[in-house]
Amino acid sequence: SESESESEDAPAAPEAAHDETEVPAKRSPPVVEKVKSAKEKPAAAKKDKRKSLDAIVSPNATSAELRRVLMTYKTRAEDAEKASKAAKFRADGAELAALTYEERARAAEDAMEAILEEKSAQEQEIEAAGGAAAAATATAAEEKKRAKDAVAFAQRANEAVRRALAQAAAAETDARAFKRGFKKMIAIMRSEPEQREFLMNPTFELDSESEASDDDDDDDD
């Protein structure tokens, strides 16, 4: 009886093999069609990506078809991992840029404090000017407030960049604007001592060079 059962089971294997070879010849199984559509249509690929593996694999799929599907999902997983690493790299770069702008803002604040100290020493020498000294004091207080506001804004921009990479470009633009304003402020502060010297010497006699420089100043005005 055992020999008869073995003889009956023997021809069953070629028939099964014959069936597996005939299925792809007649029509493409659903899993193959979905893999083809994923390659031809990116939108369809994104839609299939949200489906589970059981939802797209046919119950009658062969081992080769299953391997194709698994390789497709493996490729998608590798692409997702690469995109995740790239996003992390961009986030780290944005954080470093934000720290750089914060350091620049702190350096600007230190420079502003040094300028204000020098300005305070100069104000003691021009107390006789009265109104000019009061105006300079008000200007210094206003400039100090602007510097603190700029530093606070740079710190808020730093936190915003850490939370969202989309705000990094805006923070960079604000930092450049602050840098331009700071340079203009330095130029104004450097020009004030010459104006005070002229106010403290009302009997200053003009020679040829000073008259020429005075004419240049008039042209500039």
Cβ contacts of 35 within 8 Å, gap of 6 or more: 68, 69, 72
Q: What is the pLDDT of residue 30?
A: 56
| Contact present, 116 and 144 (Cβ < 8 Å) | yes
What are the tokens at 34? Answer: 């979905």
| Contact present, 136 and 195 (Cβ < 8 Å) | no
What are the tokens at 4? Answer: 């008869």
Domain ranges of the chain: 14-83, 90-201
**Whole-Å CA distances, 9 to 2, 20, 183:** 11, 18, 93
| Contact present, 168 and 174 (Cβ < 8 Å) | no
Residue whose C-alpha is closest to residue 181's, from 129, 112, 82, 96: 112
Cα 108 from Cα 93, distance rounded (Å): 23
Q: How many CB atoms lie within 10 A of CB 108?
A: 20
- The length of the chain, given as a count of residues: 221
Q: What is the pLDDT of residue 1?
A: 44
Cα 148 from Cα 157, distance rounded (Å): 14
Q: What is the pLDDT along the chain (221 residues), one digit of tens a residue?
A: 444 444 444 444 444 444 444 444 555 555 555 555 555 555 544 555 545 555 556 677 778 888 888 888 889 899 999 999 999 888 888 888 888 888 888 888 888 888 888 888 887 777 766 766 677 777 878 888 888 888 888 788 778 777 777 676 776 787 788 788 767 656 655 666 665 454 445 554 444 444 445 555 555 54
Q: What is the pLDDT of residue 33?
A: 56
Q: What is the pLDDT of residue 21?
A: 47
Cα 163 from Cα 79, distance rounded (Å): 24
| Contact present, 72 and 35 (Cβ < 8 Å) | yes
